[in-house]
Amino acid sequence: DRGNAMIFWRLLSCRCRFIPLKAKRLLSNPVRCGGMSGVKATAGLSSPNEVQFPVPWGHIAGKAWGDPSGKPVLALHGWLDNAGSFDKLLPLLSKDLYIVALDWPGHGYSSHRSQGSLYPVYDYFTDIKYVVDALKWEKFTFLAHSMAAGVAPWFAGALPDRVQAMVLLEGLGFWTAPMSDLPTSMGRALNQLSALEEKDNKVYPTWDAVVERILEGHVKGDSEFDREAAATLAVRGARQDSTGGYQFTRDLLVKARSVLRTCTEMNEVFLKAVRCPLLVIMAENTFVPPDIINPRLKVVGTDPDKVKLVKVPGGHHVHLCRPDVVAELVDRFLLVEKVHHDYREVSRI
């Protein structure tokens, strides 16, 4: 619940560190965390343990679900969200999975990068490498949403022997710009950075005000995003300060535009290098245009045993707002060697 979340944040502020261990439970004294109201763990995944992975600038935090002997899955959230993004979906998945859901650096309970450092997407590949190496995962599967659905296939293209499969929610590769637009894009990013560095982290008077702000920010791109979803993200996304008000835990610089955008040619090169099976789940009310996803699927490959696209009812946060429509697809994909023909396969969105 909210009280436990606040206590845990204060522990982090005191630099208490829970470091993942070799082949046992990641924590000997796990901290339980809320944010799962209304969800029953019917599929057998145990309540999550809080985990931390040491990195040079602090730690990457997360939640570990299930038994470490299960099939290893790394769950990665989208921009400005946190590991709580998966709180409604993961309890519905099979007990045969072991899922570590991360807070990206600068999000949730993870450390902010060093003062003055930015958050270019290219640094997220190193973050993943730190975590999977600490977990001693030789091979693992990605479960990635939105921005992370751009990060995951690039990592899989760079280190194909490490990635066994991918489930991508609401994305495939990064948002890109033509090469000719990069100078203008860089100029806009540099100008925006100056303004962000001068801003202070706003204090909200009440917890409800924080939830309302999250709801306001997300509903613009996802009409199905509701107050319960906002409250779930708020557990890891905000903390109480010394005045009794609340501030977002994320680093303000997370909002900075990438100084060097990814371009279309780069995206295609990495997608072509993907060798593992891939399930792309897109919501009916997505804001991602079909003319982005369909050409990228063809770049990855046309083998139906390798690449599947499934369209489901819901909005951009379908895994959070309608977890039941996603859970069965994820389970069946991750727990069989081949994707069976009875998936609701579509060739175009």
pLDDT at 265 over 70: yes
CA distance 114 to 18: 21
pLDDT at 9 over 50: no
Contacts of 309 (CB under 8 A, 6+ apart): 280, 282, 293, 297, 345, 346, 347, 349
Catalytic residue (choose from 13, 111, 146, 347): 146
Residue 339: pLDDT band by 50, 70, 90 thresholds?
very low
Poorest-pLDDT segment among 29-43, 228-242, 257-271: 29-43
Poorest-pLDDT segment among 108-112, 199-203, 325-329: 199-203
Catalytic residue status for 258: no
pLDDT at 325 over 50: yes
> What pTM was computed for the model?
0.83
Residue 162 exposed, middle or buried by CB count within 10 Å (0-12, 13-18, 19+): middle
- Looking at this protein, which amino acid is placed at residue 88? K
pLDDT at 197 over 80: no
Instruction: Give 62-81 pLDDT, tens digit per residue.
Output: 999 999 999 999 999 999 99
Poorest-pLDDT segment among 35-39, 124-128, 147-151, 198-202: 35-39
CA distance 74 to 130: 12
The reported pLDDT for the residue numbered 44 is 53
pLDDT at 240 over 80: yes
Instruction: Give 160-195 pLDDT, tens digit per residue.
Output: 999 999 999 999 999 888 888 888 988 988 888 877
Instruction: Give 201-233 pLDDT, tens digit per residue.
Output: 899 999 999 999 999 999 888 989 999 999 999
Residue 265 exposed, middle or buried by CB count within 10 Å (0-12, 13-18, 19+): exposed
Secondary structure letter of residue 177 according to DSSP: B
